[in-house]
């Protein structure tokens, strides 16, 4: 198709694209290293998660700093595979390796992490390491910060326990429909019969409370569609009964 639309276009193999991508990465890495050498203090954030399809665990390390023009900068330093178990010592070792690679282990003054026990132990190791070399500001009082969003999510998840059974049923239903193009297509056809504008079902992310709200708020719009869909797909289990729909409706209003 590209050849017909643009005769001068020459196809490029995946090997060439891969090679060119790594070349660009190395060039940009050198530029960022040169920039970081001019910075005195660097803050870090780190996050960990598991890729559901691949079942592989990752860690991302992001640097925050103010450049010479007094502008706040944010750069992703590393996106790496972190082999299980993800214990505090493993996370700390991975972070220290990344810092040495970027030659900034003597410039870190603060780090923000999730409010979990593994992060607490990781911070303890890092704090002891930096304290030994005398690189902690204010005796380490500003070294460890917890993500406020993560703490808020824990609070909201506690409140969601009132409708946890309903949430689990809705989650399984949305996951079931999203797993098949044929199911989604049929579900979309039924939605159009009710003249509803929204067509996409939202699946929650367990670590993001607002995504849970979005999923429930989206699903309740299709309340009349689910029983109709059950008539066409006998493998589908009707997600909620009438009482559960009413409870969910009242809960969202609250």
Residue 105: per-residue pLDDT: 85
Q: How confident is the model at residue 23 (pLDDT cuts 50, 70, 90)?
A: very high
Q: Is 243 left (phi over 0), alpha (psi -120 to 50) or beta?
A: alpha
Higher pLDDT, 5 or 172: 172
- Judge whether 200 and 155 are in contact, CB under 8 Å: no
Point out the least confidently predicted range of 32-46, 92-106, 128-142, 190-204.
128-142
Q: Name the average pLDDT for the chain.
A: 84
> Is residue 221 classed as helix, strand or coil in its secondary structure?
helix
pLDDT, tens only, 198-235? 667 888 877 777 888 888 888 888 888 888 888 888 78
> Is residue 68 classed as helix, strand or coil in its secondary structure?
coil
Two structure tokens written together for 35: 């920039």
Whole-angstrom distance, CA of residue 237 vs CA of residue 105 = 54
Q: What are phi and psi of 147, to 5 degrees?
A: -65, 120
> Is residue 84 classed as helix, strand or coil in its secondary structure?
coil
Query: Domain limits of the chain?
Result: 39-146, 155-253
The proportion of the chain whose per-residue pLDDT surpasses 70, expressed as a percent, equals 94
Query: Average pLDDT in the 104-128 region?
Result: 83
Whole-angstrom distance, CA of residue 146 vs CA of residue 118 = 13
Concatenating the DSSP letter of every residue in 113-124 gives E-SSHHHHHHHH
- Judge whether 67 and 56 are in contact, CB under 8 Å: no
- Judge whether 27 and 50 are in contact, CB under 8 Å: no
The answer to whether the predicted template modeling score (pTM) of the entire model surpasses 0.85 is: no
Return the CATH number of the domain spanning residue range 39-146: 3.30.420
Q: How, if at all, do strands 72-81 and 56-66 pair? A: antiparallel
Residue 1 has pLDDT above 60, yes or no: no
Point out the least confidently predicted range of 4-8, 42-46, 79-83, 179-183.
4-8
């Amino acid at each position: 198709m590209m050849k017909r639309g643009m005769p001068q276009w020459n196809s490029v193999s995946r090997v060439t694209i891969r090679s060119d991508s790594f070349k660009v990465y190395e060039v940009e890495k050198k530029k960022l290293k040169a920039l970081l050498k001019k910075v005195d203090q660097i803050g870090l954030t780190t996050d960990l998660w598991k890729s559901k399809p691949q079942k592989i665990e990752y860690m991302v390390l992001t640097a925050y700093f103010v450049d010479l023009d007094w502008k706040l900068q944010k750069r992703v330093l590393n996106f790496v595979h972190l082999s299980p178990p993800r214990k505090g010592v493993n996370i700390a070792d991975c972070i220290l390796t990344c810092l040495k690679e970027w030659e900034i282990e003597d410039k870190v003054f603060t780090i923000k992490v999730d409010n979990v026990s593994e992060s607490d132990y990781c911070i303890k190791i890092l704090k002891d390491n930096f304290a030994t070399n005398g690189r902690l500001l204010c005796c380490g009082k500003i070294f460890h910060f917890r993500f406020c969003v993560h703490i808020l999510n824990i609070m909201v998840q506690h409140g969601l326990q009132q409708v946890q059974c309903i949430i689990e049923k809705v989650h399984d239903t949305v996951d079931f429909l999203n797993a098949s193009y044929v199911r989604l297509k049929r579900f979309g056809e039924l939605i159009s019969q009710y003249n509803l504008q929204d067509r996409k079902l939202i699946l929650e992310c367990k670590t993001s409370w607002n995504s849970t709200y979005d999923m429930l708020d989206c699903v309740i719009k299709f309340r009349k569609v689910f029983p109709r869909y059950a008539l066409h797909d006998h493998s589908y289990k009707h997600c909620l009964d009438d009482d559960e729909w009413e409870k969910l409706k009242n809960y969202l209003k609250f």
